[in-house]
């Protein structure tokens, strides 16, 4: 089959070599070397040009994509590297503090109060506060019970004042989380 195609192509080139065409001014004989051309370009040249243009477009798209991915990765890394602090302004930030409520409470009758220092907190903050568990069942049972006596926490400049209906008799480690 391949031999037939080769012979057919040779016959076509020979036939076209004898053909005449009007170039707009005069009749010219078609040159055999132009038999497999389109607008004076050989098919393989057209194919190579098209492939080169496609490759250039692909490389340009890859460079743009790589640049965009790089910029997004850099922005994420910068965002991740930001240290959340209570004073940071922007989108959502969180700061977490720890403190311990001791067994020393003020007052001779309820409500009993205790103020702990939390540097950076202000009266404008409304933190989430919880007791920290130890992982030991008996200790955690006491902490849960004693934490139940605390009914209110009021923030101020660098401090939180806790109010209790009864004086806790065990120290209560707490976690204070501020989300802005």
Sequential pLDDT tens for the chain (180 residues): 565 555 555 555 555 555 666 677 877 766 555 555 556 666 667 677 777 887 777 777 777 777 777 777 777 666 655 555 555 555 667 789 999 999 999 999 999 999 999 998 999 999 999 999 999 999 999 999 999 999 999 999 999 999 999 999 999 999 999 887
In angstroms, the CA 164 to CA 113 distance is: 6
Answer yes or no: is 104 within a domain.
Answer: yes
In a domain, 87, yes or no: no
Range of the domain at 73: 2-80
**pLDDT recorded at residue 30:** 60
Q: Are residues 65 and 6 in the same domain?
A: yes
Residues 61 and 104 in one domain: no
Number of domains in the chain: 2
The answer on 132 and 70 residing in a single domain is no
Query: Which among 46, 80, 114 is the end of a domain?
Result: 80
Inside any domain, residue 86: no
**Both 44 and 98 in a single domain?**
no
> In this structure, are 103 and 68 located in the same domain?
no
Does one domain contain both 49 and 121? no
Task: Give 60's contacts (C-beta < 8 A, 6+ positions apart).
Answer: none
- Same structural domain for residues 118 and 43? no
Is residue 88 in a domain?
no
């Amino acid at each position: 089959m391949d031999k037939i195609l080769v012979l057919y192509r040779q016959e076509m080139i020979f036939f076209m070599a004898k053909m005449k065409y009007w170039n707009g001014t005069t009749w010219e004989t078609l040159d055999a070397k132009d038999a497999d051309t389109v607008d004076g370009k050989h098919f393989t040249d057209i194919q190579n040009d098209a492939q080169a243009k496609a490759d250039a477009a692909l490389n340009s798209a890859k460079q743009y994509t790589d640049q965009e991915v790089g910029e997004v990765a850099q922005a994420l890394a910068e965002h991740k590297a930001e240290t959340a602090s209570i004073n940071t302004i922007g989108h959502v930030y969180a700061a977490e503090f720890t403190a311990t409520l001791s067994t020393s409470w003020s007052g001779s009758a309820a409500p009993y109060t205790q103020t702990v220092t939390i540097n950076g907190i202000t009266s404008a903050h409304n933190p989430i506060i919880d007791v920290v568990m130890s992982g030991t069942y008996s200790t955690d049972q006491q902490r849960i019970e004693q934490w139940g006596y605390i009914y209110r926490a009021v923030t101020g400049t660098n401090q939180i004042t806790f109010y209790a209906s009864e004086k806790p008799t065990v120290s209560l480690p707490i976690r204070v989380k501020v989300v802005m």
